[in-house]
């Protein structure tokens, strides 16, 4: 029995190591390619060239502004909606939840053309709003179900005690539920930030020409497309520059992210 367990342990860890190698190898390869080993005096020369040629400073700033705005608006909206669905009798709640469920499973690619036509008629193409509003809408179904599930898991006795102390519904949300939902909100905010930062299709369709509001993935695409004859090391350096902020954010927040996902799955 012990031999079987030890074999199972060894095989499991071997598979995990192989999976980790396959997952990390592309990133390691890109980083090695981006380093200027032919000129030992300045290993970061390719990064400087890519930074200046690709104008990634404004692109990274645009990505940060869009991601922060999407996370802020979405968290505010879904917290209110999740609280209402979890603790109140909302008219037509089943219909609205069914609509949100459709939005959750519907491939968002089918919405790109209608969004383009709608924003074109509103004069919002090539603006930050063309990036922020659709991603808030696309993130809302997941966020509502996420927060509704958490709020519904809070014991009713806690809410009733707050009401008996004279707290209004807004005060119950602000002073009771939101403080205990910080881990859940932080996990949802991290997921939304990752999704928003990596979004490419909406950016290339809705912000096709205005370089001032183009996000980092879109700027990288244009840079690589215009650099076919350049040194691949410079393109690799540009890719590292775009991926670095999100990799650092994930490394810093991975424990909170995993803990929040596990806690949510266990509720």
Whether 14 maps to a domain, the answer reads no
Question: Is 168 part of any domain?
Answer: yes
pLDDT above 50 (res 126): yes
Rounded Cα distance, 24 and 68, in Å: 28
Secondary structure (H, E, C), the chain = CHHHHHHHHHHHHHHHHHHHHHHHHHHHHHHHHHCCCCCCCCCCHHHHHHHHHHCHHHHHHHHHHHHHHHHHHHHHHHHHHHHHHHHCCCCCHHHHHHHHHHHHHCCHHHHHHHHHHHHHHHCCCCCHHHHHHHHHHHHHHHHHHHHHHHHHHCCHHHHHHHHHCCCCHHHHHHHHHHHHCHHHHHHHHHHHHHHHHHCCHHHHHHCCCCCCCCCHHHHHHHHHHCCCCCCHHHHHHHHHHHHHHHHHHHHHHHHHHHHHHHHHHHC
* Domain range enclosing 161: 56-215+245-266
Considering the entire predicted model, what is its pTM?
Answer: 0.84
Averaged pLDDT for residues 135-142? 93
pLDDT score of 259 = 64
Q: Exposed, middle or buried, 12 (CB in 10 Å: 0-12/13-18/19+)?
A: exposed
**Residue whose C-alpha is closest to residue 264's, from 100, 3, 82, 50:** 82
Dist CA 68 CA 199 (whole Å): 14
Burial of 249 (0-12, 13-18, 19+ CB in 10 A): middle
CATH number where 189 lies: 1.10.3720.10
Confidence of residue 266 (pLDDT cuts 50, 70, 90): very low
Domain-embedded: residue 123: yes
Q: Is the pLDDT of residue 35 over 90?
A: no
Tokens of 177: 């539920």
Say what the pLDDT of residue 49 is. 85
Residue 218's closest CA among 233, 244, 238, 190? 238
Residue 85 CA to residue 82 CA, distance in Å, equals: 5
Interatomic CA distance for residues 187 and 204, integer angstroms:
28
- Residue 173 predicted with pLDDT over 80: yes
Average pLDDT over residues 139-164: 89
Q: Are 165 and 214 in contact (CB under 8 A)?
A: no
Residue 265 banded pLDDT, cuts 50, 70, 90: very low
Q: Is residue 7 part of a domain?
A: no
Report if residue 37 sits inside a domain: no
Residues whose CB is less than 8 angstroms from the CB of residue 186 and which lie 6 or more positions away in sequence, other chains included = 253, 256, 260
Interval 101-127 mean pLDDT: 89
Q: What is the mean pLDDT of residues 118-147?
A: 93
What's residue 132's pLDDT?
Answer: 95
Domain tally for the chain?
Answer: 1
- Domain membership flag for residue 121: yes
Compute and round to an integer the Cα radius of gyration of the chain.
23
Residue 18 covered by a domain: no
As a whole number, the mean pLDDT across the chain is 85
- 227 within domain boundaries: no
Tokens of 55: 């104008």
Task: At 131, list the tokens.
Answer: 């990036």
| Among the ranges given (56-60, 95-99, 226-230, 263-267), the one the predictor scored with the smallest mean pLDDT | 263-267
């Amino acid at each position: 029995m012990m031999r079987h367990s030890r074999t199972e342990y060894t095989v499991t860890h071997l598979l995990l190591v192989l999976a980790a190698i396959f997952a990390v190898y592309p990133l390691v390869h890109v980083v090695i390619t981006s380093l200027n080993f032919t000129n030992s005096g300045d290993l970061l020369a390719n990064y400087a060239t890519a930074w200046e040629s690709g104008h990634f400073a404004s692109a990274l700033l645009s990505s940060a502004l869009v991601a922060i705005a999407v996370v802020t608006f979405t968290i505010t909206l879904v917290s209110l909606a999740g609280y209402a669905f979890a603790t109140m009798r909302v008219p037509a709640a089943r219909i609205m939840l069914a609509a949100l469920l459709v939005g959750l499973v519907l491939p968002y690619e089918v919405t790109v053309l209608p969004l383009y036509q709608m924003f074109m008629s509103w004069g919002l193409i090539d603006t930050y709003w063309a990036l922020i509003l659709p991603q808030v809408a696309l993130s809302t179904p997941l966020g509502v179900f996420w927060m509704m599930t958490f709020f519904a898991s809070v014991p009713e006795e806690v809410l009733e005690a707050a009401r008996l102390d004279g707290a209004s519904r807004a005060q119950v949300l602000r002073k009771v539920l939101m403080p205990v939902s910080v881990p859940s909100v932080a996990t949802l905010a991290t997921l939304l930030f990752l999704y928003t930062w990596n979004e490419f299709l909406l950016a290339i369709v809705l912000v096709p020409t205005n370089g001032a509001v183009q996000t980092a993935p879109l700027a990288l695409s244009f840079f690589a497309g215009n650099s076919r004859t350049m040194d691949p090391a410079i393109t690799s350096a540009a890719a590292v520059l775009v991926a670095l902020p999100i990799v650092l954010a994930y490394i810093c927040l991975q424990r909170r992210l995993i803990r929040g996902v596990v806690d949510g799955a266990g509720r």
